[in-house]
Amino acid sequence: METPKKGKKACTECRQQKAKCDVYLNPDEPCTRCRKVNAACVVSDPFKREHKRKRISDLERESEDLRRKLRASQPAGPHPSPIALLTAAAEMGVHTPASDALSGSPQPLPSYPPQLLPPTGLENGAPVPALDGDTTKPRTLNGIQVSGEEADDLFQLFFRYYAQFLPILDPQTRPNTYYEQSPFLFWAIIGVACRAYSRNPTLLMALARSIIEMALLSTLSVSPPSHTIQGILLLLTWPFPKGDHPDVTFPMGGILLHIAMQNGLHIPMSSHEFSRVKIAAPSEPDLLRRSELWAHSVIVYQRVCVTKGQLPRALGNLGQDPAQRQVLFEKIAPWMALKLRCQELIAKCSEAAMENGMRTMSPDQERALDIILRMYEDQVDDLELQTVTDDERFDTALCRMAIQSFHFYKNPTSVSSGCYQRILVTACSLVDYIRLLSDRVGFLSMVPVQMGFALLLASTSLLRILKSNAASQGLETSRARACLFAAINLAQQMSVDSADLAAKTVTVLKAVWNSNKAFRKMDGSEYNSLRIRSRLVLSPILDVVWWWRDEFDPGSRSVRSVVEPAQGNAYARSRYSGVADAGLRPVSDTNREITGATAVSGTPERNDAFYLDEQFLADFEWALGDDALFSLDPLPSNWAATNNLL
């Protein structure tokens, strides 16, 4: 009887990779492939090939379990999740009242897990921390002095309440050492922490302009670039309220990204190739720190673009090939990778929506947009399966809310498809998260800008749907109303200055909610289209502000009353249409229909006049700085010259 032939043996490494193996030629020696990659060459009959994606998923799950056990064994250490941190503090009885936090009472500093420690610098040699017995020195910036005691209080506040949202700095480093490392980073920490410092409430606006100037000049600093990146990250996460300085948030986001790329953070494993002097390849701990700092830079940069209504660059356009991106996601913590993936979805969805066309949309384009949005919402569903903590669920909810905001570009005849109901659910979940955070911490002045933007996007979406006819077509609105009113109260808690975005949000929401003219044509019928259509996720927010200024902005009414009677409705319409073509608002078919109706009746048009109140609307990004894109004097003396420029 003939014995059946046995197949050629292959080692486990080659079998895992489905690679050709020649170990059978010489069983006593490693195969050619294993010798080449310096891998262990083992032949095992019971070996079973493991699916790579499943293995990565299992490793991430195991890593998260180990981190959870580590945090449970260290009661004093915070969780990188703000909600989990506040919950643990409350359960352990170490949560201090909000009044103590605002006054700057000294509290024990947390110690971050190893993977959250700050980079040691992109150059060799980190400064040695000061001795414990050293007294913090007073510092002065353009005539504004911060005493050593105030600096200690502010650093305590920062690491107890702010750093949990952006864990990039070492809480054990003394203020003196931070100043020696980088004066800009020192003042950035002070500028963030003084937002709610009741012992000296004048510091915030007194220091704002000087710190912003330091940020813009930091590119010329001799300090390690890591400190410059960290300082800019702080200022973009907690931007200063509008004051006597221009809004440079958007250009500063570009500076952040370019400094990081100039120093090779976008390719952490090869960042030594970007050094002017020959240095060794980064060690494993340094590789981890560089990867996390790059992830933070991308996340903050993309958030800045979204909140300013600009298209952010996706990771694929930042000089990384797929293998490098995979290494990045493997190195950084799972919660950080989730934030990065959420921002990537928003960036890709915004780009797809722009390619589809947004200013004037045909029925086919609207159907295509609906398909695009459903595709990206399905991807958010996949991300939600990976969430563990409340703040991770906040990230996915904000991602979903940003994607769903593009539904407002379509005509609201798609209410039957359920998009409005889904928007209400998402918006309410965002408000609930921030309300839960407020209940646990007692105050919201320390929350980062993305939470304020989430509250603004959710509340304006709720407002628009509740003021529409869709509210009477079977939608559950009682919970939506309660969440809208809760959002107004939460925005009041977030405000640190009458000129900040939270304070202006309260003004707009209250006025538009009580208005009988908002989202209505002159005949009282519903105006069911966005007039602001060039600012991506920000457009629905700006559209609500436009309705507010139409009715409640005295400057807008004064310009309209002077210009329209003098020039006639037809002349005003032609001039305003020219402004729309320049980017203020689209001249859609719906707009033309309304214009035609008002022209016949001879009634002045409420919605076509334009006026840029730069003091109020700067935070809503009608312009990128102090100067308006277009300006008109209250009197029409220079009207013709201004229109020649348009």
Residue 623 DSSP code:
S
Model confidence at 576: pLDDT above 50: no
Co-location of 178 and 152 in the same domain: yes
| pLDDT, position 473 | 67
Collapsed DSSP state (helix, strand, coil) of residue 141: strand
Q: pLDDT tens digits, residue range 164-207? A: 999 999 999 999 999 999 999 999 999 999 998 999 999 999 99
Model confidence at 494: pLDDT above 90: yes
Evaluate whether 221 touches 228 at the Cβ level (below 8 Å). yes
Q: Which of the residue ranges 52-66, 236-250, 458-472 would you say has the lowest mean pLDDT?
A: 52-66
Co-location of 520 and 640 in the same domain: yes
Of 352, 385, 412, the last residue of a domain is 352
Collapsed DSSP state (helix, strand, coil) of residue 246: coil
Half-sphere exposure of 54 (CA within 13 A, CB side): 3
Co-location of 530 and 421 in the same domain: no
Co-location of 382 and 467 in the same domain: yes
Evaluate whether 212 touches 235 at the Cβ level (below 8 Å). yes
| pLDDT, position 33 | 86
Q: pLDDT tens digits, residue range 118-134? A: 333 333 333 334 444 57
Co-location of 263 and 383 in the same domain: no
- Stronger pLDDT, 85 or 71, i.e. the higher one: 71
| pLDDT, position 53 | 58
| pLDDT, position 331 | 84
- How far apart CA 106 and CA 153 sit, in angstroms, is 6
Co-location of 520 and 623 in the same domain: yes
Instruction: Compute the mean pLDDT over every residue in the chain, rounded to the nearest whole number.
Output: 76
Of 327, 352, 377, the last residue of a domain is 352
Evaluate whether 448 touches 166 at the Cβ level (below 8 Å). yes
- Percent of the chain at pLDDT above 90? 47
Instruction: Work out whether the CA dihedral 213, 214, 220, 225 comes out positive or negative.
Output: negative
Co-location of 257 and 337 in the same domain: yes
Determine the structural domain holding residue 552 and report its residue range.
515-645
Write the secondary structure of 68-124 as one string of H (helix), E (strand) and C (coil): HHHHHCCCCCCCCCHHHHHHHHHHHCCCCCHHHHHHCCCCCCCCCCHHHCCCCCCCC
Total domain count, the chain: 5
| pLDDT, position 443 | 82
Co-location of 406 and 285 in the same domain: no
Q: Which of the residue ranges 464-473, 491-500, 584-593 would you say has the lowest mean pLDDT?
A: 584-593
| pLDDT, position 242 | 82
Co-location of 530 and 471 in the same domain: no
| pLDDT, position 94 | 38
Q: CATH number of the domain at 32, please.
A: 4.10.240.10
Give the residue-averaged pLDDT of 477-484: 93
Split at pLDDT 50, 70, 90, the class of 7 is low
Q: The tokens 């003042």 sit on which residue? A: 187
Give the residue-averaged pLDDT of 25-29: 86
Model confidence at 29: pLDDT above 50: yes
- Assess if residue 2 is contained within a domain: no
Q: pLDDT tens digits, residue range 209-262? A: 999 999 999 888 888 899 999 999 999 999 999 877 788 999 999 999 999 999
- Assess if residue 227 is contained within a domain: no
Cα 163 to chain centroid, rounded: 16
Evaluate whether 168 touches 296 at the Cβ level (below 8 Å). yes
Q: Is 473 exposed, middle or buried (0-12, 13-18, 19+ CB in 10 A)?
A: exposed
Q: Which of the residue ranges 56-70, 168-182, 247-261, 600-614 would you say has the lowest mean pLDDT?
A: 600-614
| pLDDT, position 114 | 33
- How far apart CA 516 and CA 606 sit, in angstroms, is 14
Give the residue-averaged pLDDT of 562-582: 36
| pLDDT, position 84 | 37
Of 484, 503, 534, the last residue of a domain is 484
Look at residues 72, 73, 126 and name the one whose alpha carbon lies nearest to residue 285. 126
Co-location of 326 and 441 in the same domain: no
- Assess if residue 236 is contained within a domain: no
Element (H, E) at 146: strand 144-146
- Assess if residue 4 is contained within a domain: no
- Assess if residue 186 is contained within a domain: yes
Model confidence at 117: pLDDT above 50: no
- Assess if residue 62 is contained within a domain: no
Q: pLDDT tens digits, residue range 277-336? A: 777 777 888 888 889 999 999 999 999 999 999 999 887 777 666 777 777 888 899 999
What is this structure's pTM?
0.71
Co-location of 580 and 638 in the same domain: yes
- Stronger pLDDT, 525 or 615, i.e. the higher one: 525
Split at pLDDT 50, 70, 90, the class of 561 is very low
Give the residue-averaged pLDDT of 7-33: 84
- Assess if residue 126 is contained within a domain: no
| pLDDT, position 477 | 86
Q: pLDDT tens digits, residue range 347-382? A: 999 999 999 998 888 989 999 999 999 999 999 999
Whats the size of the chain, residue-wise?
646
- Assess if residue 242 is contained within a domain: no
Co-location of 519 and 641 in the same domain: yes
Model confidence at 39: pLDDT above 60: yes
- Percent of the chain at pLDDT above 70? 69
